[in-house]
Amino acid sequence: MEKMEEFVFKAREMGAICLSVWEGRWRVIPHDVLPDWLKDNDFLLHGHRPPMPSFRACFRSIFRLHTETGNIWTHLIGFFFFLILGIGYMFSPNINFVAPVQEKVVFGVFFLGAVLCLCFSWLFHTVYCHSEKVSRTFSKLDYSGIALLIMGSFVPWLYYSFYCSPQPRLIYLVIICVLGITAIVVSQWDRFATPQYRAVRAGVFLGLGLSGLVPTLHFMIAEGFLKATTAGQMGWLFLMAICYILGVALYAARIPERFFPGKCDIWFHSHQIFHVLVVAGACVHLHGVSQLQAFRSSLGGGCTSDTML
């Protein structure tokens, strides 16, 4: 009897919430009254958007404070940043490049991966409260975007680091593309987006990123540690890896909200920090490959038999 009364009470409460959303006067709600498909992080106790079966209401919620506000704006700003920067790179003078078409293509692949990743991310966090079907669809785009960013990040680094060794460069590019496409296919599985598979999601993308250890070790052994960390800009690659690995670890472990339930509902929860570290990692990576490009430009197009750079 008590369970029946509790069910009726929650049904009435959700009915009132849906009515307020329909009338455009919705308010944030606690985690325990969310429908199951909106429950993702049970350490965020308050400040959630209710189900909002209106795309207009979802996009207007960008300007309201709730658990997704930081997630949306970190990647919305990052999206415009990389979009504008990418357009600038594409129209930069050809004199800055040894092989303008090839080099702009490899940079374009990186910018495309970054822009799509950040775009899919802020869109997902904006509309995933619309309905279960919309949430599921956009979550698949979100996870696919992560794989595209990782794949796109490898392209300019492999191009410049193995500039004088085209055969291993091609092999590594094919391998990372196969692994990236596999990650995208796996991410289309409906269960992949559920809270129970949080660690699996983190593991898939962490594994995709760590696949870069093989070409990294190859490069460091062939060129030597000193040259790899100076001319090869390996330090920036390591810093990028730290940003991504730290972000994924915090996301998977739900730190810091795990230790402060209800205290990080709006700001500084793990997903928000993960978003900031993704943008930071992409910026660090861009700086590193830009330095590699400048190094190659200073040498010209020639290669010697004793170097990969």
Give the residue numbers spanning the domain of 206: 69-299
CA-CA distance, 146 to 193, in Å (whole number)? Answer: 13
Number of domains composing the chain: 1
Amino acid present at 170: L
* Residues 59 and 126: beta-carbon distance below 8 Å: yes
Question: Would you say residue 217 lies in a domain?
Answer: yes
Question: Would you say residue 215 lies in a domain?
Answer: yes
CA-CA distance, 222 to 307, in Å (whole number)? Answer: 8
pLDDT score for 6: 56
pLDDT score for 7: 52
Question: Would you say residue 181 lies in a domain?
Answer: yes
pLDDT score for 292: 94
Question: Would you say residue 243 lies in a domain?
Answer: yes
Compute φ and ψ for 195, nearest 5 degrees: -60, -30
pLDDT score for 23: 44
3-state SS, residue 29: strand
Question: Would you say residue 42 lies in a domain?
Answer: no
pLDDT score for 261: 97
* Residues 159 and 169: beta-carbon distance below 8 Å: yes
Per the listing, tokens 């696949």 go with 211
CA-CA distance, 308 to 89, in Å (whole number)? Answer: 25
Annotated binding-site ranges for Zn(2+): 125, 271, 275
Compute φ and ψ for 29, nearest 5 degrees: -130, 160
Amino acid present at 120: F
pLDDT score for 3: 55
CA-CA distance, 236 to 228, in Å (whole number)? Answer: 11
Annotated binding-site ranges: 125, 271, 275
Question: Would you say residue 272 lies in a domain?
Answer: yes
Question: CATH number of the domain that 108 lies in?
Answer: 1.20.1070
Question: Would you say residue 248 lies in a domain?
Answer: yes
pLDDT score for 278: 98
Q: What angle do CA 268, 271, 277 make, to 5 degrees?
A: 85
Structure tokens at 95: 């004199």
Question: Would you say residue 39 lies in a domain?
Answer: no
Q: Count CA atoms closer than 13 A to 200's CA, side-chain side.
A: 12
Instruction: Render each residue's pLDDT in the chain as its tens digit; 309 residues.
Output: 555 555 545 555 555 555 545 446 899 999 999 999 999 999 999 999 999 999 999 999 999 999 999 999 999 999 999 999 999 999 998 888 889 999 999 999 999 999 999 999 999 999 999 999 999 999 999 999 999 999 999 999 999 999 999 999 999 999 999 999 999 999 999 888 888 888 889 889 989 999 999 999 999 999 999 999 888 899 999 999 999 999 999 999 999 999 999 999 999 999 999 999 999 999 999 999 999 999 988 887 778 766 777
